[in-house]
Structure 1
Amino acid sequence: MMFQFLRDLYRRHRKKLLITTGVAAVSYMIGIYVRNKVREFQEQLKEENATRDLIKKRFSQTQKDCYMTFLSFLPVLVEPIYKELDVEEITKELKLSRKNKSLVPDGKSELNSEDLSSSKNENARNGEESIDQKLGDQVLSGAITGETKLSKTKVELWQELKVKSLTRFLTLIYSETLLIILLHLQLNIISRKSYLKTALKLASKNQGIRLVDLESEESKNTVDKDLPEQAFLSFTWWLLNKGWAKLRNIVNESVESVFNEISLREEISIEEFGNLMFEVQKNIDSRLFEERSSYELYDNLQEDNAPGTSDDARTLTLISMMLPSQSDEFKLLQETNTVEFLTNFNSNISNVKMLQRMNEELKGYLKSEQVHEISRTISTIGISTIIQNVDRSLHVKQESKNGGPTAASGNDPEKQEQEPQPAPTTRWKLAFILAVLSPQTHELANRRINNPVLYTMNNVNELDDLSASVYSNFDI
């Protein structure tokens, strides 16, 4: 009886039951499909996030590597500049000249004990600084002004001291600026290439893509994939050994054009000194970014000035300082690498092609207005930071001599109490400014990690933007 009832019920509602069952089955299948899609989407999102984190981590580490590499190269860059522009040697000659001519009848020197003690206290941190500061004290105390007429030799020494101290300061600023830019471009190009290899291997593992199908033609059969990168980094040698000398000549001519007629005894404010330095900087920048024939630019950087050793094409002066000409590339590799490296490198044409491709990309960035603006920004920050340090040192020294805050000369204290006025701009003899500038310049040669001047120069936002654009350029 019960079975009959169920059969009758099924016959009456068979259509509804079939529809309901079908809908339930379809809903179940759709649910499974949606869950699978959601799971795939979540896994894909997780992989993308992991990839982004990997890119950020690699990018951040690359920027740290750029700074550490810069500090490791710093002694190599600084040593020849200090040797060529030996300001301290000129200072010693002037001190010796002064010592031989400054004795008065009672046998005492015109350089009094106050000058010596103030110099000693100011320069306890650096032995070389005491020489420069004593020299500045001699100027302020009348060691130069006490003579009605200086000999030609001494005049030439003072002129040489003025030009060399400024030339050394700006040569260090600009050569370090170019080295910072060069290393950021090189290391980000190499790091991006390394990351791309990792990403391709990850894709071949997770997505079943054959890695050999994704690699470029040049990467096939390469004996050692690190050889092109090593050769690429070898070109840093050019700036460290050749390019800075060309830069020094430009800086020297620019300094002379602005400071040649300014006497060391002329009193100027630190703002006026900064404006003069800005004029020198504009002159240097205009010459760095001018385009000239490769033969003209590279010829005076060769040890053997044989005609026809350079290309006939036109090149930016900036590039000629940072990279060798195409005809000098192999010679540079010979001078900076072992015979074994050269043998392995030349054993496969793909190494040469990859090196050429990286060099062309590097030159493309160096020609861009973005790099030109970054160069101006970094050099300006370096110059401004040092001048600010000079300003602080000048005021500290003046306050220590006066026993209190710097007083404006020629002002009546009673009048100041009755009618407060803004303090007039303090003016200093140019010789005294340069005497303080020289020890401050030593910060540019200090390779400690927390060096505030170098760290600030290396971490401008514009440089990070350039590095990011290089690192994310996968279309080459």
Structure 2
Amino acid sequence: MPPDQRSRSLLQRHRGKLLISLTGIAALFTTGSVVVFFVKRWLYKQQLRITEQHFIKEQIKRRFEQTQEDSLYTIYELLPVWGMVLNENDLNLDSIVTQLKDQKNKSTRAKSNESGEASPLKTKAELWNELELKSLIKLVTVTYTVSSLILLTRLQLNILTRNEYLDSAIKLTMQQENCNKLQNRFYNWATSWWSDPEKRVGDAMAAKKSKKDGQEVYINEQAFLSLSWWILNKGWLRYNEIIANQIEVEFNGIHPRDTLTLEEFSSRLTNIFRNTNSQILQQNNNSLTSILLPQDSSGQEFLLSQTLDAEALTSFHSNTLVFNQLINELTQCIESTATSIVLESLINESFHFIMNKVGIKTMAKKKPGQEDQQHYQMAVFTMSMKDCCQEMLQTAVGSAHGGGVNEYLAALDSVQPLDDLSASVYSNFGVSSSFAFKD
């Protein structure tokens, strides 16, 4: 039998086995290819998911850090306003110093009251006593008010930023979910546009309503941010009242010529802070809340009338849902134990800042030959407190954007418990800032 016939005969005899083998090889290859494809696809999705998670994590971190910077800038913008409020409420220390200089130069002229009659001038001793008392009151009042203001601003902006971020995330997720249906949705929209004119009208009305809702939300958020007006114009007076009473107790009978050591001055100031804290930070006591926020509808209405224009106020009254939700959360934050702890930390940091500055300024006022002197006249402490208070209220142009830095605000802004509370509010998880920012 010729070789080619033998080959064909052999191929015919084993054709079934060959087909089975080839089919098996093809199936195995196809299965392997499919498995490899799905494995690669799974790995790609896992990598994409990890990348998206990392991106979201970085976005959250950047948004959080930016919010804390915005809070500090806000305080810089509000300080000049409050400085004017203090001066208008008889705490203008520079005015008293000017009168003292006039007394020293014997150039003071009699002033006239509203009736046109000459009013009696204050003596030098009376002016020094007034400067001593008001320097103490202003210094401690600035401490409590600025500490409370930076705390309030952090709470407000972190609540708002978190809500805005969540809204954006939800919208983005919905857009991604609907992306795969874009062509079908476009087809349905196109056909309905020609076949259903009533739907076009409905879509236009829905868009108009959405725009109106957006404006109402914006006005509600502006009303929420305007709450800081309360402490700067009304709430701080409660601090002022408590502090004035404590100063009267601790410094009663100490005149400008009397002497104290730094330790004695620090001890008396410590008592003022401790007793003020006990009245403000007591649990089951709404003292802090009433200082930071208006507690009745009339106070709230008065605040909003001072901060919103007539058109915005009318729009606000038509829908206050968002405002009520925001203020309810803010009130819960203020009344929490964590917030009291943070405020106390800010006040403690303020006390250390004051004693450091007053100590440096007081010792710098020593005259030659007094280097070993440990006692200082109260008048020296008074001028040191005045200078310290001026630094704490420093609002040089560009301070928040790389210009002159307010050391006091920088010190408060770096208090760790404040960052922890801010992260807790921002995340709404109730844990410290390490929860999301560790790699």
What TM-score comes out, normalization by structure 2 length? 0.77
SS of equivalent to 1:428? strand
> Relative to 1, partners in 2 of residues 1:436 and 1:10: Cα closer, same or farther, differing over 3 Å?
same
Report the equivalent of 2:391. Answer: 443
How far apart are the structure 2 equivalents of 1:34 and 1:168?
70
How far apart are the structure 2 equivalents of 1:80 and 1:180?
18
Note if contact 2:392-2:407 (Cα within 8 Å) is conserved in structure 1: no
How far apart are the structure 2 equivalents of 1:8 and 1:53?
68
Alignment of 1:207 with 2:199, yes or no, is: no
Pairing partner for 1:460 from 396, 402, 415: 415
> Relative to 1, partners in 2 of residues 1:161 and 1:9: Cα closer, same or farther, differing over 3 Å?
same
Report the equivalent of 2:205. Answer: none
SS of equivalent to 2:372? coil
Note if contact 2:96-2:127 (Cα within 8 Å) is conserved in structure 1: yes
Bigger drift between 186-195 and 43-52 goes to 43-52
Pairing partner for 1:346 from 317, 331, 336: 317
SS of equivalent to 1:408? coil
Deviations 1:88-116 (A, max 9, x none): 3444445555666xxxxxxxxxxxxxxxx
Report the equivalent of 2:114. Answer: none
Deviations 1:51-99 (A, max 9, x none): 1121111111111111111111111112222332233344444555566
Bigger drift between 195-204 and 380-389 goes to 380-389
Matched-pair identity in %: 30
> Relative to 1, partners in 2 of residues 1:3 and 1:332: Cα closer, same or farther, differing over 3 Å?
farther
Report the equivalent of 2:348. Answer: 380
SS of equivalent to 1:439? helix
Supply the AA of the counterpart residue of 1:436. S
Report the equivalent of 1:271. Answer: 263
In the TM superposition, 1:129-168 aligns within 5 A as 157-168=127-138
Note if contact 2:136-2:247 (Cα within 8 Å) is conserved in structure 1: yes
> Relative to 1, partners in 2 of residues 1:61 and 1:445: Cα closer, same or farther, differing over 3 Å?
same
Pairing partner for 1:332 from 293, 303, 311: 303
Report the equivalent of 2:43. Answer: 38
Note if contact 2:79-2:393 (Cα within 8 Å) is conserved in structure 1: yes
SS of equivalent to 2:178? coil
Note if contact 1:319-1:363 (Cα within 8 Å) is conserved in structure 2: yes
Question: How far did 1:463 drift?
Answer: 1.1
Supply the AA of the counterpart residue of 2:313. L
Alignment of 1:248 with 2:240, yes or no, is: yes
How far apart are the structure 2 equivalents of 1:326 and 1:220?
31
Deviations 1:380-425 (A, max 9, x none): 2223213212222233332x634xxx7425xxxxxxxxxxxxxxxx
Note if contact 1:189-1:358 (Cα within 8 Å) is conserved in structure 2: yes
How far apart are the structure 2 equivalents of 1:431 and 1:79?
25
Report the equivalent of 1:64. Answer: 69
Question: How far did 1:472 drift?
Answer: 0.9
Note if contact 2:259-2:375 (Cα within 8 Å) is conserved in structure 1: yes
Pairing partner for 1:408 from 345, 369, 372: 372
Aligned-CA RMSD value: 2.9
Deviations 1:247-276 (A, max 9, x none): 111111111122214343343322332222
How far apart are the structure 2 equivalents of 1:335 and 1:89?
29
Pairing partner for 1:78 from 73, 83, 107: 83
Q: Which runs of 5 or more residues in structure 1 are unaligned?
A: 101-151, 211-218, 292-313, 410-425
Bigger drift between 259-268 and 223-232 goes to 259-268
SS of equivalent to 2:376? strand
Question: How far did 1:16 drift?
Answer: 5.2
How far apart are the structure 2 equivalents of 1:204 and 1:221?
22
How far apart are the structure 2 equivalents of 1:90 and 1:69?
30
Alignment of 1:433 with 2:433, yes or no, is: no
How far apart are the structure 2 equivalents of 1:7 and 1:220?
79
Note if contact 2:365-2:380 (Cα within 8 Å) is conserved in structure 1: no
> Relative to 1, partners in 2 of residues 1:248 and 1:343: Cα closer, same or farther, differing over 3 Å?
same
> Relative to 1, partners in 2 of residues 1:18 and 1:279: Cα closer, same or farther, differing over 3 Å?
same
Question: How far did 1:228 drift?
Answer: 1.2
In the TM superposition, 1:217-232 aligns within 5 A as 222=213, 224=215, 225-232=217-224
How far apart are the structure 2 equivalents of 1:187 and 1:433?
38
Supply the AA of the counterpart residue of 2:293. L
How far apart are the structure 2 equivalents of 1:62 and 1:249?
33
How far apart are the structure 1 equivalents of 2:300 and 2:312?
15
SS of equivalent to 2:52? helix
